[in-house]
């Protein structure tokens, strides 16, 4: 199986292209930093009166990390549409390369970009006053990477399947908004009315955010931690399956 | 072993699409054979099934019926084997505008297991042979349309494929770039022995490049042969005589109609039109006869049939109409 070799070829090409455009990586970084500096202080003041458990940074940063993983991944599909249009994807499909590697290599690049952004985010949060155990940071970064991988797979798959920015944009927004609103990323769900809480229970990302918050508080033994990690892994598997199927379908 | 004799051997190749619940037959069972070292032009109007057939032969689209052996491997059973041996130059391009030419070439070569040193050497040689010597370090987006198309060809040839597919190679190029490209395509075959299968909807391109032409219309191959053979299927060369007056035209038509193999001349005021099998041979004779009858022709035109005429004869439609 040349899967790993081919994935590496696709990954290194994509990584090189991303590094040629550091501006985009920088703009991607800007968003979490803006949240941190413009929304964080607000939260500091309402943390005590709201339903959050723990220090405001410990509550807020896990949410931002999950958001970075989701949104960092969700929008990569636009890039693969551009690559489709310039003929790169088709050119790679005519080589003996493993079909799955063509999407996996690109997703790995996205994971690296998102992980770097997550490290910068955590670093900035530390400067602002975040204090958490080192193990929590590692689990946090792993979760962001997993979410980034899952959403990059999904977004790339939708991009390749639709080949149209006009189709991808509303799809991504429709997917992103309920995920965000029902995840308790910005505000804790336990201050929500009952029906909203029940609705949010069906959102896997709420549990992932909860898992990361537990870890940031130092509650490594909390069963929610395992639930969150398993959910994130399941999402990656789902995304990889979608991606692989979509790529194979291109030559059907 | 089958397939050793020819580079492409397709039997009953078929592709049916489902669109809004209806089955659309894009390709209705094509038989074709391409020999080693041939340049074959695949000619047809847009929507005739050219690109669909090409994509099936390149493993980009699974046939819904029929079978094919391409470059010695079975298209359905061993698509990876086919991919190893073919090159494909899409009309959509093959490189990212922001990528560096040399890096795109090297990255592409890696898929075929070519080491970096060989890839670099081969890439630079290919670029040089396509008059692109100094673009290795430039971004693909900074190249002109013609340069970019030649870069696509370099990408498609980096693994020295025995068979290369070119999809509408000169679409969108200016006349000079087209002529250059044709020279390069001929060199591919003459110097490297590469078999070339190209699609086009330009008559002149098929005519000047191909050893053999396949004409596809409405999902089936309607004619096949060398450009000269195909042109013979049209009723010969067209002769147009312009006379001084209508009585002269009538007499001239009578004389011309007696030429060997001529069809019935059509008189239109001062002008007489007819077809003969060989215009070059018939013309001196015709002029001599006219002089003997005391008829003074003020204009003579001989037109060899073009592939466009062939297409018109075969399908009742002109290729040019379809491009609008």
Candidates B62, B95, B112; nearest CB to A95: B112
Q: Which of A20, A95, A252 sits opposite B83 (nearest CB)?
A: A95
Two tokens at B46?
Answer: 């847009």
Contact A69, A145 (CB under 8 A): yes
Quick one: pLDDT band at residue B218, thresholds 50, 70, 90? confident
Instruction: Give yes or no for B166 touching A (CB within 8 A).
Output: no
Confidence check: pLDDT of A80 > 90: yes
Report ipTM for this prediction: 0.87
Mean pLDDT of B63-82: 93
Inter-chain CB pairs, A–B, below 8 Å: 74
Q: Do you know the residue count of chain B? A: 324
Q: What percent of chain A has pLDDT over 90?
A: 50
For position A51, what pLDDT does the model report? 59
Report the distance separating Cα B287 and Cα B285, nearest Å.
5
φ, ψ (nearest 5 deg) of residue B6: -125, 160
How far is Cα of residue B103 from the mean position of the Cα atoms in its chain?
A: 31
Measured CA to CA, the distance from residue A118 to residue B193 in angstroms comes to: 54
pLDDT for residue A50: 60
Interval A242-252 mean pLDDT: 91
| H or E stretch covering A145 | helix A134-162
Q: Among B200, B277, B282, B212, which residue's Cα sits nearest to residue B241?
A: B282
Structure tokens at B119: 């890839």
Number of CB atoms found within 10 A of residue B37's CB: 15
Across chain B, what does the average pLDDT equal?
Answer: 88
Which chain B residues in 59-78 lie under 8 Å from chain A, judged by CB atoms? Answer: 59-62
Tens digit of each residue's pLDDT (9 = 90 or more) over B101-144: 999 999 999 999 999 999 999 999 999 988 888 999 999 999 99
**Which comes out higher in pLDDT, residue A201 or B4?**
A201
Q: Which of A37-41, A179-183, A244-248, B227-231 has the highest mean pLDDT?
A: A244-248
Arithmetic mean of pLDDT over chain A: 88
Provide the token pair at B35: 């020999």
DSSP-based three-state secondary structure for B188: helix
Rounded Cα–Cα distance for residues B161 and B195 (Å) = 9
Q: What is the largest CA-CA distance in chain B?
A: 78
Annotated domain spans of chain A: 54-246
Give the pLDDT of residue A12: 96
Euclidean distance between CA atoms B122 and B130, whole angstroms: 12
| Model pLDDT, residue A97 | 93
Q: Which of residues 146-165 of B touch A (CB under 8 A)?
A: 152, 155
Q: Which of A87, A89, A160, A250 to mutate to test the interface with B (most CBs of B within 10 A)?
A: A87
- State which H helix or E strand residue B252 sits in: helix B246-256
Q: Check pLDDT > 60 for residue A233.
A: yes
Contact A239, A77 (CB under 8 A): no
Burial class (CB within 10 angstroms; exposed 0-12, middle 13-18, buried 19+) of B296: exposed
Query: Is B324 a residue whose pLDDT tops 50?
Result: no
Residue B220 or B174, more confident: B220
B99–A13 C-beta distance less than 8 A: yes
Is the predicted pLDDT of residue B56 greater than 70, yes or no? Answer: yes
Choose the mutation target among B91, B97, B110 for the interface with A, i.e. most A CBs under 10 Å: B110
Q: Is there a contact between A94 and B97 if contact means CB atoms under 8 Å apart?
A: no
Nearest residue to B239 (alpha-carbon basis) of B217, B215, B207, B261: B261
Check pLDDT > 90 for residue A242. Answer: yes
Give the range with max mean pLDDT: A201-210, A227-236, B22-31, B234-243: A227-236
Domains of chain B in start order, with CATH, are: 6-231 (3.40.50.300), 235-304 (3.30.70.980)
pLDDT in tens, B40-52: 999 888 788 888 9
d(CA B161, CA B86): 5
| Option in B61, B97, B112 nearest A86 (CB) | B97
Statement: residue B3 has pLDDT above 60 = no
**pLDDT digits 0-9 by tens, B138-167:** 999 999 988 898 999 999 999 999 999 999
Smallest CA–CA distance, residue A158 to chain B, in Å, is 19
- Search chain B and give the residue with CA nearest A92: B108
The rounded distance, in Å, linking the Cα atoms of B135 and B152 is 13
* Alpha carbon of A244: minimum distance to chain B alpha carbons (Å): 16
Contact A91 B94 (CB under 8 A): yes
> For residue B308, what pLDDT is reported?
77
Q: Do A251 and B62 touch (CB under 8 A)?
A: yes
**Would you say the C-alpha torsion B70, B72, B77, B83 has a positive or negative sign?**
negative
Please say if the pLDDT value at position A156 is more than 90: yes
pLDDT at position A208, please?
92
pLDDT given for residue B1 in this prediction: 39
Q: How far apart are CA B65 and CA B29, in angstroms?
A: 7
Q: What is the pLDDT of residue A1?
A: 65
Indicate whether A95 pLDDT > 90: yes
Residue A25 predicted with pLDDT over 80: no
From chain A, the residues in CB contact with B80 under 8 A are 96
Answer yes or no: do B83 and A6 touch at CB < 8 A: no
- Across the interface, which of B92, B98, B112 has its CB nearest the CB of A90? B92
Who's near A237: CB < 8 A, 6+ residues apart? Answer: none
pLDDT exceeds 70 at position A109: yes
Q: Measured between CB atoms, which of B61, B92, B111 is closest to A97?
A: B111
Residue A211 CA to residue B233 CA, distance in Å, equals 77
A85–B98 C-beta distance less than 8 A = no
Average pLDDT score over residue span B272-296: 87
Residue in chain A closest to B158 (alpha carbons) equals A95
Model confidence at A238: pLDDT above 70: yes
Interchain proximity B110–A90, CB inside 8 Å: no
Q: What is the pLDDT of residues A39-69, one digit of tens each?
A: 777 777 766 666 566 677 888 889 889 988 9
Q: Tell me what pLDDT residue A145 has.
A: 96
């Amino acid at each position: 199986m040349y899967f790993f070799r081919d994935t590496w070829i696709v990954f290194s090409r994509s990584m090189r292209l991303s590094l040629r455009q550091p501006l985009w990586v920088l703009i991607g970084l800007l968003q979490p930093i803006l949240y941190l500096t413009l929304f964080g202080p607000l939260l500091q003041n309402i943390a005590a009166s709201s339903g959050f458990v723990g220090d405001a940074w410990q509550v807020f940063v896990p949410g931002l990390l999950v958001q970075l993983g989701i949104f960092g991944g969700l929008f990569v599909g636009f890039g693969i549409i551009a690559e489709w249009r310039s003929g790169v994807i088709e050119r790679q499909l005519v080589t003996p390369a493993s079909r799955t590697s063509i999407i996996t290599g690109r997703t790995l690049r996205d994971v690296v970009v998102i992980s770097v952004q997550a490290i910068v985010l955590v670093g900035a949060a530390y400067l602002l006053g975040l204090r958490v155990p080192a193990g929590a940071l590692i689990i946090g970064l792993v979760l962001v990477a997993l979410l980034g991988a899952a959403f990059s797979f999904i977004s790339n798959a939708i991009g390749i399947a639709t080949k149209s920015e006009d189709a991808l944009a509303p799809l991504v927004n429709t997917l992103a908004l309920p995920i965000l609103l029902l995840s308790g990323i910005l505000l804790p769900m336990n201050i929500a009315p009952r029906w909203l809480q029940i609705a949010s229970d069906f959102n896997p990302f709420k549990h992932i955010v909860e898992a990361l918050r537990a870890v940031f508080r130092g509650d490594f033994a909390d069963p929610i931690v395992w639930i969150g990690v398993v959910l994130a892994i399941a999402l990656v598997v789902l995304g990889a399956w979608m991606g692989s199927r979509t790529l194979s379908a291109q030559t059907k | 072993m089958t397939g050793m004799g020819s580079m492409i051997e397709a039997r009953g190749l078929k592709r049916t699409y489902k669109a809004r619940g209806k089955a659309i037959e894009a390709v209705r069972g094509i038989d074709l054979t391409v020999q080693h070292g041939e340049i074959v032009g695949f000619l047809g109007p847009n929507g005739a099934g050219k690109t669909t057939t090409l994509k099936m032969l390149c493993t980009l689209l699974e046939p819904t019926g029929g079978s094919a052996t391409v470059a010695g491997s079975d298209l359905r059973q061993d698509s990876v084997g086919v991919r190893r041996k073919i090159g494909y130059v899409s009309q959509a391009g093959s490189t990212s505008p922001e990528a560096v030419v040399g890096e795109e070439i090297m990255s592409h070569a890696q898929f075929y297991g070519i080491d970096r040193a060989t890839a670099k050497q081969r890439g630079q040689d290919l670029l040089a042979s396509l008059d692109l010597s100094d673009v290795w370090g430039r971004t693909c987006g900074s190249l002109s349309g013609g340069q970019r198309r030649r870069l696509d060809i370099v990408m498609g040839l980096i693994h020295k494929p025995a068979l290369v597919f070119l999809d509408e190679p000169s679409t969108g190029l200016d006349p000079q770039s087209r002529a250059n490209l044709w020279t390069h395509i001929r060199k591919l075959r003459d110097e490297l022995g590469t078999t070339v299968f190209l699609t086009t909807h330009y008559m002149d391109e098929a005519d000047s490049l191909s050893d053999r032409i396949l004409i596809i219309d409405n999902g089936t191959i309607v004619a096949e042969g060398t450009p000269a053979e195909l042109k013979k299927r049209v009723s010969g060369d067209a002769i147009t005589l312009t006379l001084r007056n209508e009585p002269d035209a009538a007499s001239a038509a009578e004389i011309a109609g007696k030429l060997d193999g001529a069809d019935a001349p059509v008189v239109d005021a001062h002008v007489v039109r007819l077809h003969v099998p060989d215009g070059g041979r018939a013309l001196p004779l015709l002029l001599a006869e006219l002089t003997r009858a005391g008829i003074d022709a003020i204009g003579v035109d001989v037109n060899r049939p073009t592939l466009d005429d062939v297409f018109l004869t075969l399908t009742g439609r002109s290729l040019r109409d379809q491009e609008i």
